[in-house]
Amino acid sequence: KNEVEQSPQNLTAQEGEFITINCSYSVGISALHWLQQHPGGGIVSLFMLSSGKKKHGRLIATINIQEKHSSLHITASHPRDSAVYICAVETNTGNQFYFGTGTSLTVIP
């Protein structure tokens, strides 16, 4: 059983579409991270959440602690958003980390 489940695994969208990537987890957490891995391999941390909602540009991340679920939304998607998006959680006991397997997003012009 995976502690972190992401969906979908692969996603293809037309430029301009609204995109949602989901993350569910089964452990108690102190924080949830959304990471973006570029086609070149570099990894960037997009958000760190422990409650509520955060917005940065066209990216919005929400978390529902009771439901153990987080979503990453991309508004007005663009080809440069094409990347792998990874959900990661830090547990609130023992500071362990668990990772989703990632969502590969391709935005077509």
Partner 1 sequence: DAGVIQSPRHEVTEMGQEVTLRCKPISGHNSLFWYRQTMMRGLELLIYFNNNVPIDDSGMPEDRFSAKMPNASFSTLKIQPSEPRDSAVYFCASSRPTGTGFLHFGNGTRLTVT
Q: With CB under 8 A, what is the number of residues at the site for partner 1?
A: 23
Q: Of 10-18, 62-70, 71-79, 94-102, which segment contacts partner 1 by CB under 8 A? A: 94-102
Selected from 50, 64, 75, 106, the binder of partner 1 by CB under 8 A is 50
Q: Which residue do the tokens 């949830």 mark?
A: 32
Residues 6+ apart with CB under 8 A from 15: 77, 78, 79, 107, 108, 109
Instruction: Verify binding: residue 93, partner 1, rule CB under 8 A.
Output: no
Contacts of partner 1 in 52-91 (CB under 8 A): 86, 88, 90
Give the CA dihedral 35, 38, 44, 50, nearest 10 degrees: -20
What's the min distance (Å) between Cβ of 50 and partner 1?
8
Instruction: Verify binding: residue 108, partner 1, rule CB under 8 A.
Output: no
Q: What is the DSSP letter of 26?
A: -
Measure the CA–CA gap between 83 and 105, rounded to whole angstroms: 5
Selected from 31, 58, 60, 62, the binder of partner 1 by CB under 8 A is 31
Measure the CA–CA gap between 21 and 70, rounded to whole angstroms: 9
* Chain residues in the site for partner 1 (CB under 8 A): 30-31, 33, 35, 41-45, 48, 50, 86, 88, 90, 92, 94-97, 99-102
